[in-house]
């Protein structure tokens, strides 16, 4: 790695030190490949192997470098490197962390040679009133929030219903929950309305995890021994607790209320936390976390609103690192490429960041400024 810019020159040692933690049990060639990928992704702000190879400045022909990188990706993600990554991430995250789980997509509308493409909802073009479907793959991701409130991935899988022996999106979500629970022991899982499913509540109860999940409008809850629509309980109340919350990139004032109920799945006591003043219809959050005071209610609401961090994480991957622009074709290789991009983003999320690391992050943000105002990437330190 020669002839790098001033910023990346100062960061080379830090990147190499970070990647050695992940790849220490691998062969020499695999250790070099891991460092090359993380360095190349950060330096080029791209996941294209041609862009990455440009930043490596190797003396061999560019086509040979691209072939070497491609051959390594085709072998998939090394299990020992994935395990080392999770151990490294665990040190960045406080005890009983917040785990954000969400679904995204990668679309390849003109792709013909990519493995197992199915039809997915294109989240970037779909709206609340209109869904746009294109060829692509599903993405399931679970991110833990560091002490600096930065998301770091603890589970990531690109999958498709066109895969052989594919079961369901729920199966992948259960894998994400199990892996995060096994890694941290105890966590608070935060999910949007798409996860308002009895099976989700049951697995979280079985694993003895906390949760804050936004409910759909058709959810029924047991209140005073009577099954009642959640919307009816919502409409009976008014928010009495005032709180400042960060929602969709801005500070807002919300009004909160809560009531003890039971949910269909487990018949265990939970709380329905109602959030008024932000959306056309007040939000309904189900949580098994204690809610005995107004401070508890505010904390639960703010925990849910931290969910927007994972949406920023997805946007960062797609807009800043151009993830949907990949050219590798096999699903195993695509997942491997996603792993090395995850390493690059985890490097930026480390708590003990130097001015050099912040300089790189600032330069990334500056280059992303013309893209969209809503693209966010938190600066720590």
What H or E segment, with its residue span, contains residue 229? Answer: strand 226-229
Same-domain status, 295 and 360? no
The two structure tokens encoding residue 217 = 């409008």
pLDDT per residue of the chain (381 residues) written in tens, 0 to 9: 444 455 556 678 888 899 999 999 999 999 999 999 999 999 899 999 999 999 998 999 999 999 999 999 999 999 999 999 999 999 999 999 999 999 999 998 887 888 888 898 887 777 777 888 889 999 999 999 998 889 999 999 999 999 988 999 999 999 999 999 999 999 999 999 999 999 999 999 999 999 999 999 999 999 998 999 999 999 988 888 898 888 777 788 889 999 999 998 778 899 999 999 888 889 999 999 988 889 999 999 999 999 999 999 999 999 989 999 899 999 999 999 999 999 999 998 874 445 555 555 555 545 444 433 444 434 333
In this structure, the answer to whether residues 258 and 335 fall within a common structural domain is no
Extract the tokens encoding 179: 């892996």
Domain presence at residue 289: yes
Q: Show contacts of 374-377: CB within 8 Å, 24+ apart.
A: 374/248, 374/249, 374/315, 375/312, 375/315, 375/316, 375/319, 375/320, 376/249, 376/312, 376/315, 376/316, 377/312, 377/316, 377/320, 377/348
Q: How many domains does the chain have?
A: 2
Residue 132 lies in a domain: no
Tokens of 210: 């906390």
pTM, 2 dp? 0.87
- Residue 224 falls within a domain, yes or no? yes
In a domain, 243, yes or no: yes
Q: Is residue 319 part of a domain?
A: no
Query: Which residues 6+ apart lie within 8 Å of 174 measured at CB?
Result: 199, 203
| 341, 290: one domain | no
Name the residue range of residue 223's domain. 213-302
Whether 117 maps to a domain, the answer reads no
Reference 161, options 150, 170, 152; nearest CA is: 170
Instruction: Give the chain's largest Cα–Cα span.
Output: 74
């Amino acid at each position: 790695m020669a002839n790098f810019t001033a910023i990346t020159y100062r960061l080379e040692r830090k990147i190499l030190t970070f990647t050695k933690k992940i790849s220490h049990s691998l062969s020499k060639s695999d250790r070099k490949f891991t460092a090359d990928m993380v360095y190349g992704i950060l330096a080029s702000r791209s996941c294209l192997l041609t862009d990455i190879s440009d930043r490596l400045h190797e003396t061999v022909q560019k086509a040979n470098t691209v072939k070497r990188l491609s051959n390594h990706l085709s072998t998939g993600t090394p299990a020992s490197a994935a395990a080392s990554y999770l151990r490294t991430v665990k040190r960045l995250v406080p005890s009983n962390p917040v785990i954000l789980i969400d679904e995204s997509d990668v679309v390849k509308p003109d792709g013909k040679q990519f493995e197992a493409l199915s039809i997915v909802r294109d989240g970037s073009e779909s709206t609340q009133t209109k869904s746009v479907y294109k060829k692509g793959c599903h993405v399931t991701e679970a991110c833990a929030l560091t002490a600096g409130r930065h998301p770091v991935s603890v589970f990531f899988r690109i999958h498709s219903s066109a895969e052989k022996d594919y079961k369901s999106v729920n199966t992948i979500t259960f894998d994400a929950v199990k892996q995060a629970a096994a890694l941290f022991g105890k966590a608070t899982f935060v999910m949007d309305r798409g996860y308002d499913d009895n099976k989700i509540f049951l697995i979280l109860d079985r694993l003895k995890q906390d949760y804050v999940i936004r409910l759909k409008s058709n959810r029924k809850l047991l209140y005073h021994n009577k099954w009642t629509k959640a919307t009816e309980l919502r409409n009976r109340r008014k928010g009495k607790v005032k709180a400042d919350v960060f929602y969709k990139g801005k500070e807002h004032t919300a009004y909160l209320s809560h009531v003890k109920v039971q949910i269909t799945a487990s018949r265990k006591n939970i709380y329905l936390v109602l959030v008024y003043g932000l959306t056309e219809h007040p939000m309904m959050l189900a949580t098994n976390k204690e809610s005995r005071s107004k401070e508890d209610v505010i904390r639960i609401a703010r925990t849910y609103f931290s969910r927007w961090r994972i949406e920023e994480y997805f946007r960062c991957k797609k807009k800043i690192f151009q993830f949907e622009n990949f050219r590798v074709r096999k699903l195993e290789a695509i997942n491997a490429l996603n792993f090395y991009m995850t390493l690059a983003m985890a490097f930026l999320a480390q708590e003990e960041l130097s001015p050099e690391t912040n300089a790189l992050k600032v330069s990334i943000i500056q280059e992303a400024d013309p893209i969209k105002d809503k693209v966010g990437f938190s600066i720590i330190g």
